[in-house]
Amino acid sequence: MRKATMLAFILLCSTVKMSADEGMWMLKDVSRKVQSYAEAVVSIDFMGTGSLISDKGLVITNHHVAYGDIFELSSAEHNYLEDGFWARSMAEEIPIPGRHIQILQETIDVTDEVERLYENGTVRRGPMSMRRMSGIIEKKYEQETGLTASLGTYWSGSRYYVSLYKEYSDIRLVAAPPVSIGAFGGDIDNWEWPQQKCDFAMLRIYTAPDGSASEYSPENVPLHSPAHLKISDKGYRKGSKTIVIGYPGRTDRTASSSKVEYLTDVTLPIMYEVRGGQMEIIKKWMDADPSVRLKYSDYFFNMSNAQELYGGEILCYKRFGVADEKRELEKELSAWIAADKERTERWGSLLADIEKKYKAVTKAELDLNWFRETMIRGTRVQVISSRIEGAPNKFDGAKASNLKTSCAKTYEEIDLRVERDIFRYTLEQFYTHVDKSMWGSYQKELRERFGNDYDAICAELWDGSWMTDRERCSELFSKDSRIDVQLLRELQKDKLFLFFRDARYTDFNGRSRDIQGERTLLDLDKEYTKAVYQMRLEKKERQYPNANSTLRVSFGKVGGYSPKDALWCDWKSTAAGILEKHDPASHDFCLKPEWRKALEAADRGLAVDFLSDNDITGGNSGSPVLNSKGELIGLAFDGNKESLACDISFTEGYNKCINADIRFVLWTLRNYAHLDNILEEIKK
């Protein structure tokens, strides 16, 4: 029986080599059987993935994919993040404003069409050409099909495909465990193994009564979805084959060695350091004040995820010698280019040009990145100054209303005590790291007056500013307030406003672009990808394009790994691990009494999460993990720390996909949530 199953699996995926394999393959590169599984896989606004698991439009995804929606639906009275949400009937399901779900219908190769539009001059090649091209191609296919069209570029413009989707806009929350279950371990366990998260949430797609996509209406009905995944409760074992289907965001597997070194030495360390400092400030306030935790939980969650990624990327690029790996590819590429006159004319100096230009822009890029992380991405009060700046020159009734609404929303989302501390921190980072030649005149004046006394500079700018006066802001941005052009100009005389607007992003970015010249780093990087693509094409090597938020398939198997010398990590975690980590003093590891009681009554060997070596990245969150029969056995939700070079390089033996066991999800629905209506719907 085992031999027959294995043979069926090999035949099923015969288009692609089956092994624990690098590769995010397009649907055209896999068998029709696997393509049929993809019919039940959905995109959640291209930020995450989900799966249809019933014929009534029920979608399962990760809790952290739905986190922002759960956060927006929460309030002090109904804190669904902390307490969870369980709809015990369809009538209790909550509409999620602004959320959409897309289901792929078809992908069409439009390379020849695109090239004709370039050749006949309809679209001129240049910085904005892809936007113009997308407008033409997408409009054509939307008119022809009635579907939502999205044009994608592959191998930096070597190929073009248009993806056609049915898009649904009436999406409702069905189920979500508390963060203490769905996000157990918080940012401490993020990118780590073992983890014990029950990282799932459920949504439902609704349509008009005739089955067409519709905005929310009480008259709408659940989507009739004949394509949906069967859930397996039989589990898996070490070595079991796995298929992951989803919408990975962005990778750059054809990055040059020069780009890897640039990321390692210039951009990533700055983002890691500044965001780490901001997180320390926010966490201090969150731990001290529950109202701050409620306001900042989503913001902190997203910041934490990114900050740990940046640090992990630096470590993995160095540990696994990714730049050296890229240099080996460049040796092969150089030899291939040199073997042909036409290739030499086109690409002969490409590698040298890339290396030279990355080195030339290093200083300007350091200043640019420090400025962006401190003045642009520092306190969110800065966002208000950006909105106020251009308003007087294009102000009318509608714009006044939009301005008030957007500003009021920002103030609702922040705590000015927290933002003051963040401003004080980023203020010092700005003055310490950005070359003073790039400071604005007012910024220079403040430094001359106060020297390195950043507390005094902070007090001078923050205290007394209308931008940091809660009562005045409430008056300015209330529905009844009148904001006219004269008032806006008066507001722009504020010291804090002047400080934010004194140095310009365009100045920093412009300096870098001046150094790069007409042929920018982006142009050179694209040309490098095209050269690698062409070389592999001529050598008849299997290749897949970089991820670009389109549907992809990856193949792997269940198994553990050795993260470092003398250590071995098992391939699954259990309920015993949750109880071992319980810590009443820690928000991330504190178990609710009823959850702890349920776990203590369970088999301590109850499987919770497991590892596979499927090739994934951001956007794959919530992707179904399927067995050889196409049955759902888990949900991909994370990667291990050793996999954090994956956007640039797949490191065999170390890249692991961390998955929530679907049996643990079912156990939670049955023994904790008692959500019998959903268990009945999915026939479990």
Domains belonging to the chain, first-starting first, are 1-100+169-273+550-684 (2.40.10.120), 326-360+507-541 (no CATH), 378-503 (no CATH)
- Dihedral over Cα of 388, 394, 397, 398: its sign: negative
**pLDDT band per the 50, 70, 90 thresholds, residue 394:** low
What confidence tens digit (pLDDT) does each residue in 12-43 have?
A: 344 444 345 799 999 999 999 999 999 999 99
Q: DSSP 3-state assignment of 418?
A: helix
Position 645 pLDDT exceeds 90: yes
Q: Which two tokens mark 334?
A: 């150089």
Q: CA 470, 475, 477 angle in degrees (round to 5)?
A: 90
Distance (Å, whole) CA 607 – CA 592: 20
Q: 262 vs 146, 353, 400, CA distance in Å? A: 44, 14, 43
Distance (Å, whole) CA 161 – CA 617: 21
- Beta strand pairing call for 624-626 and 607-612: unpaired
**pLDDT band per the 50, 70, 90 thresholds, residue 388:** confident
- DSSP 8-state symbol, 234: S
Closest-CA residue to 178 (of 42, 67, 293): 67
What confidence tens digit (pLDDT) does each residue in 516-565 have?
A: 999 999 999 999 999 999 999 999 999 999 999 999 999 999 999 999 99
**pLDDT band per the 50, 70, 90 thresholds, residue 350:** very high
**Do residues 133 and 158 lie in contact, with contact meaning Cβ atoms separated by under 8 Å?**
no
pLDDT at 16 (0 to 100)? 44
What confidence tens digit (pLDDT) does each residue in 584-631 have?
A: 999 999 999 999 999 999 999 999 999 999 999 999 999 999 999 999
Contacts of 268 (CB under 8 A, 6+ apart): 310, 311, 313, 314
Distance (Å, whole) CA 277 – CA 259: 26
pLDDT at 5 (0 to 100)? 35
pLDDT at 2 (0 to 100)? 35
- Counting every residue written for the chain, the total comes to 684
Q: DSSP 3-state assignment of 243?
A: strand
Peptide bond into 222 cis (omega under 30): no
Q: Considering only 359-363, 397-401, 503-507, 508-512, which range has the smallest mean pLDDT? A: 397-401
**Do residues 53 and 257 lie in contact, with contact meaning Cβ atoms separated by under 8 Å?**
no
User: What average pLDDT is seen over the chain?
Assistant: 93
Q: Which two tokens mark 478?
A: 């209330």
What confidence tens digit (pLDDT) does each residue in 428-456 have?
A: 999 999 999 999 999 999 999 999 999 99
Higher per-residue confidence, 42 vs 486: 42
Closest-CA residue to 572 (of 655, 460, 661, 683): 661
Q: 452 vs 368, 455, 462, 521, 595, CA distance in Å? A: 22, 9, 17, 36, 51
**pLDDT band per the 50, 70, 90 thresholds, residue 167:** very high
For a pLDDT cut of 70, what percent of the chain falls above it? Answer: 97
Q: 547 vs 46, 276, 419, 641, CA distance in Å? A: 12, 28, 36, 20
Q: Which two tokens mark 595?
A: 């959850």
**Do residues 312 and 320 lie in contact, with contact meaning Cβ atoms separated by under 8 Å?**
no
**Do residues 103 and 49 lie in contact, with contact meaning Cβ atoms separated by under 8 Å?**
no
Neighbours of 231 (CB within 10 A): 20
What confidence tens digit (pLDDT) does each residue in 200-256 have?
A: 999 999 999 999 999 999 999 999 999 999 999 999 999 999 999 999 999 999 999
Q: E-strand spans in 558-656?
A: 572-574, 607-612, 624-626, 632-639
Higher per-residue confidence, 40 vs 304: 40
Closest-CA residue to 154 (of 106, 123, 104, 108): 108
SS (H, E, C) 515-578: HHCCCCHHHHHHHHHHHHHHHHHHCCCCCCCCCECCCEEEEEEECCECCCCCCCECCEEEHHHH
Position 6 pLDDT exceeds 50: no
The enclosing H or E element of 109 equals strand 101-109
Q: 657 vs 110, 159, 622, CA distance in Å? A: 33, 29, 12
Residue with tokens 């059987």: 33
pLDDT at 7 (0 to 100)? 34
Position 633 pLDDT exceeds 60: yes
Distance (Å, whole) CA 558 – CA 565: 21
Fill in the amino acid letter for 609. Answer: D
Q: Which two tokens mark 538?
A: 């001529």
Residue with tokens 């394009």: 545
Q: 399 vs 136, 404, 438, 480, 600, CA distance in Å? A: 30, 9, 33, 15, 57
Distance (Å, whole) CA 616 – CA 638: 9
**Do residues 418 and 285 lie in contact, with contact meaning Cβ atoms separated by under 8 Å?**
yes
- DSSP 8-state symbol, 198: -
Distance (Å, whole) CA 16 – CA 282: 47
Closest-CA residue to 47 (of 73, 24, 67, 28): 67
Position 149 pLDDT exceeds 90: yes
**Do residues 132 and 83 lie in contact, with contact meaning Cβ atoms separated by under 8 Å?**
no
**Do residues 656 and 611 lie in contact, with contact meaning Cβ atoms separated by under 8 Å?**
yes
By CB atoms closer than 10 A (0-12, 13-18, 19+), residue 86 is: buried
Q: Which two tokens mark 187?
A: 């940012």
